[in-house]
């Protein structure tokens, strides 16, 4: 993403204003505050503000458990215990505010996370920039035949190019009509001068879903980790995963102990259904899995079990 000179200057200035505070601070986040982390072709994520650190989680937990936490005197141990036991309310004591630029179709998925605060750029008030998302050719996957919401291998370069050219032409044409409706340009140049331009809130409806919008997004750590769990997942759409990866990196800097525990007990954990747990118990006991248990698994579950624990229950000897 090309950062405008104005933006660079603004960020540079903001990063000069050092103040003193008694609050919890995290040098790792202070070092990146306001900076742009590019995502996709024109998007970005940047941290505007944050509240709390690993210790703030510990502190809130100790209020809850009072003298009861004396034994878990070690911060890391307490944080791991909280996340393992899903006692996640102390995580709500941390908060982060991000400035995000993202395509509208990504924003539509993102906004489904309701437990967050949002101030989005309003195309009713203001005019959207001419910026739209075009995937890289290697991200142009075919419709997956098994996973109905996913994409498979990449298209050939020539096919990709054809589609990307079409996407670009459509976005460009629609934007030129947008400008025309607003009396800013177009073949009907005098348009804006005569009757006045079309209302912005209507003009925008010509724009495709790959145009960029931006917003301030503020969320507490508990809900943020839930967001990341869903959006880092391999079935999440590639474009929103790209944002989730950048945000995950930020959280890792912000709260290293929480992040480590969340990775171990959340992201990289596996869940076994009651049937799967029974099968694993039987296998661990040295025997074979009861056939009637195996038959209760759907084909999707069988595949997952292989991925989760390397167990192939489809094998027959």
For the segment 210-249, give every residue that binds a second copy (CB under 8 A).
Answer: 210, 214-216, 218, 220, 237
Give the Cα separation of 304 and 312 in Å (integer).
10
Query: Site mask, a second copy, residues 51-70, x = CB under 8 A?
Result: xx---x--xxx-xxxxxxx-
Assess 13 for contact with a second copy (CB under 8 A).
no
**What is the rounded distance in angstroms from the CA atom of residue 301 to the CA atom of residue 277?**
12
Note whether 166 binds a second copy by CB under 8 A: yes
Coil vs helix vs strand at 303: helix
Residue (246 or 262) nearer to a second copy, CB: 262
Q: Does residue 231 have an active-site annotation?
A: yes
**Max Cα–Cα distance, the chain, nearest Å:** 85
Q: Are strands 212-220 and 117-120 parallel, antiparallel or unpaired?
A: antiparallel
- C-alpha 163/C-alpha 149 separation (Å) is 20
Q: Closer CB to a second copy, residue 1 or residue 267? A: 267
- Output the smallest distance, CB 49 to a second copy, in A: 5
Write down the residue that tokens 């759409």 correspond to.
Answer: 237
User: Which stretch, 1-9, 38-46, 209-217, 244-252, contacts a second copy (CB under 8 A)?
Assistant: 209-217
Q: Which of 107, 52, 303, 86 is nearest to 217 (CA)?
A: 107
What part of residues 119-158 is at the interface with a second copy (CB under 8 A)? Answer: 119-122, 124-127, 133, 135, 139-145, 148-152, 155-156
The interface region with a second copy, picked from 38-46, 243-251, 274-282, 287-295 by CB under 8 A, is: 274-282
Shortest approach of a second copy to residue 173 CB, angstroms?
7
Q: Evaluate whether 45 touches 98 at the Cβ level (below 8 Å).
A: yes
Among residues 151, 231, 281, 307, the one annotated as catalytic is 231
Do residues 106 and 240 make contact, with C-beta atoms less than 8 angstroms apart?
yes
Q: How far is the CB of 259 from a second copy (least distance, A)?
A: 13
Give the separation between CA 254 and CA 283, rounded to whole angstroms. 41
If binding is defined by CB under 8 A, does position 184 make contact with a second copy?
Answer: no
Pick the piece of the chain touching a second copy (CB under 8 A) from 1-9, 30-38, 249-257, 287-295: 30-38
Both tokens of 190, joined, read 């005098």
Among 40, 46, 102, 103, binds a second copy (CB under 8 A): 103
Q: How many residues does the chain have?
A: 317
Look-up of token digits 């306001």: 34
DSSP 267: I
The one segment of 38-46, 242-250, 251-259, 307-315 that binds a second copy by CB under 8 A: 307-315
Please select the residue that binds a second copy; options are 1, 3, 24, 293, rule is CB under 8 A.
24
For residue 270, give every residue at least 6 positions away whose Cβ sits within 8 Å of its Cβ, in sequence order, or none. Answer: 308, 309
Instruction: Name the minimum Å distance from CB 268 to a second copy.
Output: 4
Which residues are annotated as catalytic? 231
């Amino acid at each position: 993403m090309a950062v405008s000179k104005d933006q660079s200057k603004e960020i540079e200035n903001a990063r000069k204003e050092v103040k003193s505070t008694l609050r919890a601070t995290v040098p790792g986040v202070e070092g990146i505050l306001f900076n742009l982390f590019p995502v996709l072709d024109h998007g970005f994520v940047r941290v505007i503000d944050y509240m709390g650190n690993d210790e703030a989680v510990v502190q809130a937990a100790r209020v809850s458990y009072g003298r009861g936490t004396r034994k878990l005197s070690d911060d890391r141990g307490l944080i791991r215990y909280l996340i393992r036991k899903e006692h996640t309310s102390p995580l709500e004591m941390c908060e982060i505010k991000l400035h995000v630029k993202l395509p509208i179709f990504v924003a539509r998925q993102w906004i489904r996370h309701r437990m967050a605060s949002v101030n989005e750029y309003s195309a009713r008030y203001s005019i959207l920039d001419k910026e739209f998302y075009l995937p890289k050719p290697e991200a142009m996957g075919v419709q997956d035949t098994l996973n109905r919401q996913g994409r498979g291998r990449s298209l050939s370069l020539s096919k990709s190019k054809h589609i990307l050219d079409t996407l670009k032409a459509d976005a460009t044409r629609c934007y030129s009509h947008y400008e025309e409706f607003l009396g800013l340009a177009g073949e009907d140049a005098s348009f804006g001068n005569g009757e006045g331009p079309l209302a912005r809130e209507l003009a925008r409806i010509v724009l495709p879903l790959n145009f960029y919008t931006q917003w301030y997004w503020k969320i507490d750590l508990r809900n943020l980790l839930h967001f990341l769990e869903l959006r880092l997942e391999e079935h999440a759409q590639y474009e929103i995963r790209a944002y989730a990866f950048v945000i995950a990196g930020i959280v890792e800097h912000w709260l290293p102990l929480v992040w480590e525990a969340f990775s171990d007990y959340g992201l990289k954990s596996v869940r076994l259904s009651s049937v799967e747990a029974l099968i694993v118990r039987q296998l661990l006991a040295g025997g074979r899995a009861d056939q009637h248990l195996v038959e209760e698994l759907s084909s999707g579950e069988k595949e997952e079990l292989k991925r989760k624990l390397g167990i192939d229950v489809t094998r027959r000897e």
